[in-house]
Amino acid sequence: MRGTSEDWGHQPLLNVKTNLPMDEAVGVLENAFRARNFVLIIGECWVDYDGRASSTLEWGERVTIFKKDGSVLIHRPTGYEPVNWQPPKCAIVVNRRDSGILITAARSQPREIISIEFRNVSLVAVGSLDDTGDFALHVTEAQMKQAILIAPDLVEAGLTPLQQEKHVENAGFTDIYGEDKDGSMVVIEIKRNAATKDAAIQLNSYLDKIRKRVNRPLRGIIVAPDLRKSAQPMLQVLSIEFVKLDPEKCFSVLKTQKDMKLSQFIS
């Protein structure tokens, strides 16, 4: 069990204080910022921002978060977005003021500063968050591939994927091969982002390997949501084709598939 309001071992992982007198709060905060800890404050504050634009936020109760990477978030009781914020790499300074506590978070490039004055602090939580969990946003190249295998029309009418899994040798990209409606062999390289000329070069070297072993008409197609302008000439030169395919389209195919699977069980 993680430590919370009690010290636990030498370094408490999360130290929570309520109704802390200002003087003590300042000490806690100074230590926390010096140690680059995570800091969360709920309290009544006034916020000034100056930089690309400038703003003033008058007294009110908000949640303020200072992360160890120097990012700052100030949240009002409603709304998805922070009312004021600062991206990572800010320098944070705490000062005792007659009226309360003044915290400034400054960055350069662009030069911007937020100053937060607290005149009342309900909750201070300082410590560290242990978070190494993987984050994965799906609709990856793998999912794009899966979508194309389900609905080859996404690439072109009459396409028949042949494959599976087997490559001449791992070419370092997500691909499909198959036959088009005329019986030509087709190799598809999938990119989740706008395709660069590198993609074309990669696909071409793959095609070369195949040409050495197989003697039949061969087409190379890059499938991606977009084609980087600079890649255009390379495609020309290598006679590689480009097909635009948005991840959302893939997602909807996969979702439909999923829904169909579900409906089998539900029916």
Partner DNA sequence: CCTTCCGTTAGGCTC
Partner DNA sequence: GAGCCTAGCGGAAGG
| Three-class DSSP category at 156 | coil
- Token digits for 205? 């070297």
Cα 105–chain centre separation: 24
Cis? peptide before 21, omega within 30° of 0 = no
**Among its own copies, DNA, none, what binds residue 233 when CB lies within 5 to 8 Å by partner kind?**
none
**Among its own copies, DNA, none, what binds residue 251 when CB lies within 5 to 8 Å by partner kind?**
its own copies
In angstroms, the CA 64 to CA 42 distance is: 6
Q: Report if residue 122 touches its own copies, rule: CB under 8 A.
A: yes
Q: Report if residue 141 touches DNA, rule: CB under 7 A.
A: yes
In angstroms, the CA 63 to CA 75 distance is: 5
Of the pair 26, 186, the CB lying nearest its own copies is at 26
| Three-class DSSP category at 149 | helix
In angstroms, the CA 112 to CA 52 distance is: 7
Distance (Å) of CA 103 to CA 12, 99, 112: 23, 13, 14
Which residue type sits at 108?
S
Q: Which of 9, 109, 132, 266 binds its own copies (CB under 8 A)?
A: 132
Of the pair 138, 213, the CB lying nearest DNA is at 138
- Token digits for 11? 């370094």
**Among DNA, its own copies, none, what binds residue 146 when CB lies within 5 to 8 Å by partner kind?**
none
Task: Point out which span in 5-13, 25-33, 45-53, 60-68 binds DNA (CB under 7 A).
Answer: 45-53
Distance of closest approach, residue 205 Cβ to DNA, in angstroms: 9
Q: Report if residue 51 touches DNA, rule: CB under 7 A.
A: yes
Task: Point out which span in 50-58, 144-152, 167-175, 232-240 binds its own copies (CB under 8 A).
Answer: 50-58
Q: Which of 32, 64, 86, 116 binds its own copies (CB under 8 A)?
A: 86
Residues 57-76 that bind its own copies (CB under 8 A): 57-63, 65, 67-69, 71, 73, 75-76
- Token digits for 233? 């000439």
Q: Judging by DSSP bridges, how do beta strands 185-190 and 174-179 pair with one another?
A: antiparallel
**Among DNA, its own copies, none, what binds residue 59 when CB lies within 5 to 8 Å by partner kind?**
its own copies
Answer yes or no: are the C-beta atoms of 141 and 125 closer than 8 Å.
no
Contact residues for DNA, defined by CB under 7 A: 49, 51-53, 55, 71, 79-88, 109, 112, 114, 137, 140-141, 170, 172-173, 191-194, 196-199, 202, 225-226, 228-231, 247
